[in-house]
Structure 1
């Protein structure tokens, strides 16, 4: 891409960035942080599935909301990792292998984020939610199983990380919504280990992807820090809830949450298509 095209993208980014920063808007950001903190600890996700729609509602484009979400996920995921690691529910080697893949995939996702249309991004988000819900409905993880590392499993974790990284960078999610079910379904992790490992794998990827997004001037730093810091303080409570409920109950709660989000996202995507 030429320097002129890069400058054009930067100008467009600045023009599109119109977040509501009134007291009402800040209050909503704080409330989003609280919700994200609970969901991050409870489900092992970064919270992008909440952050992105909320930021779009407050005035950012899908593109800027996705980029801002990645920065907010950094402190949230660090807090979640600490909470899960204290109870021994993190597979450090598996997380490293997934991150290696996510590092590459995240850069690809960030590159695509700056170039795909708003309509494509909205429908990609809908398709992603359908995929995750389908997986949650057909599989309930065990609380006692763990990942058995073999050369084949190691390669699989890296390849999976590339796919998760692309989706994370493209959709503005940490990757937990796809990592958690995949680590259980494909690699045999318990529900708690899948969540703790997912959070560990996602925060370095969130950092590297955010750096790329900041260079493209797509991140609203103030909004990201408000959400991220509040969420980081609340996440330990969500982690406690995760251990207090059974794997089946946790799976049902996650499915219900995603189903509600899918309905809203589908409605927004349909409206955008009709314009």
Structure 2
């Protein structure tokens, strides 16, 4: 099975480098389809994020592909938000967590496809309003950190529509930035998971295998992002959204069906 986990790690690493995704967009649906609980799938995804985002951000910084200041603002917010992720996993049931994941993916896909920047200022003008600019970045990081790490998706799929809408950032630019953001949020999330007992020995082993393998994929993804056009980037990212929604939707139906059948008599009584 380790070979399969390595393949998952490499593929998820490519999506991390190419789209700034935490890998959970791929890992969470795949791991749940292999029989892991949603909670353990999320924990495995967080390990992938730590390895992939750190390795990828070092490469991106050396290539001067992102602003360190922007990354720090997002990272501060991400650490704040992700610190609550272990508590979220402990409180929410697997079915509810899967449902939230599914809804968030659908909303993010809709915002991504229909994005029209509503702000009146160009990005360069917005930068002059330093306090407002920093506030938007930190808030975006905190909001993304709470949900992204709790759901094991890193943040790229949430950050892209937010920063596109409020700051007018290009999707490729956000992809690079969100990879740096994931370092801060995933480390904070992993600590929170350990504190709340989400991570066990098996999850730790698989997470390490997937994470180390992901570093190979990240280098491939970063190379590709400099080669493909923005249009191609958007098309591929849309397909990843759809893949994640379909696989997660199938998993949700499998988990929710027994609950629906169990409560069907009660629901029928209410309707009569």
Deviation at 1:97, TM superposition (A): 1.3
1:43 corresponds to which of 2, 6, 19: 19
In structure 2, what is the equivalent of residue 193 of structure 1? 173
Deviation at 1:245, TM superposition (A): 1.1
Q: Structure 1 78/53 Cα, relative in aligned 2: closer, same or farther at 3 Å? A: same
In structure 2, what is the equivalent of residue 250 of structure 1? 233
Distance in 1, matches of 2:36 and 2:137, equals 34
1:194 alignment partner, SS class: helix
Q: Does the 8 A contact of 2:78 with 2:145 survive in 1? A: yes
In structure 1, what is the equivalent of residue 112 of structure 2? 136
Q: Is 1:52 matched with 2:28?
A: yes
Distance in 1, matches of 2:39 and 2:225, equals 31
| TM value normalised by structure 2 | 0.85
2:106 alignment partner, SS class: helix
1:214 corresponds to which of 191, 194, 203: 194
Distance in 2, matches of 1:44 and 1:127, equals 20
In structure 2, what is the equivalent of residue 164 of structure 1? 144
Distance in 2, matches of 1:127 and 1:98, equals 23
Q: Does the 8 A contact of 1:48 with 1:66 survive in 2? A: yes
Deviation at 1:67, TM superposition (A): 1.9
Q: Structure 1 269/251 Cα, relative in aligned 2: closer, same or farther at 3 Å? A: same
Distance in 1, matches of 2:3 and 2:166, equals 40
Could you report, residue by residue, the CA deviation over 1:235-275 in whole angstroms, capped at 9, with x for unpaired residues?
11111111111111101110012112211211221222111
Deviation at 1:100, TM superposition (A): 1.5
In structure 2, what is the equivalent of residue 20 of structure 1? none
In structure 2, what is the equivalent of residue 62 of structure 1? 38
Q: Does the 8 A contact of 1:140 with 1:247 survive in 2? A: no
Deviation at 1:33, TM superposition (A): 0.7
Question: What are the equivalent positions in structure 2 for 1:52-201 lying under 5 Å apart?
Answer: 52-139=28-115, 148-149=126-127, 150-201=130-181
Q: Is 1:265 matched with 2:248?
A: yes
Could you report, residue by residue, the CA deviation over 1:28-60 in whole angstroms, capped at 9, with x for unpaired residues?
201101111111111111111111122223332
Q: Does the 8 A contact of 1:79 with 1:233 survive in 2? A: no
In structure 1, what is the equivalent of residue 215 of structure 2? 232
- Mean Cα displacement is larger for which, 216-225 or 118-127? 216-225
Deviation at 1:146, TM superposition (A): 5.8
Distance in 2, matches of 1:83 and 1:180, equals 21
Distance in 1, matches of 2:211 and 2:116, equals 30
Which runs of 4 or more aligned residues in structure 1 lie more than 4 Å from their structure 2 counterparts after TM superposition?
145-148
Deviation at 1:110, TM superposition (A): 2.1
Deviation at 1:140, TM superposition (A): 8.5
Q: Does the 8 A contact of 1:146 with 1:188 survive in 2? A: yes
CA RMSD of aligned residues (A): 1.9
Q: Does the 8 A contact of 2:17 with 2:219 survive in 1? A: yes
How many residue pairs match? The answer is: 248
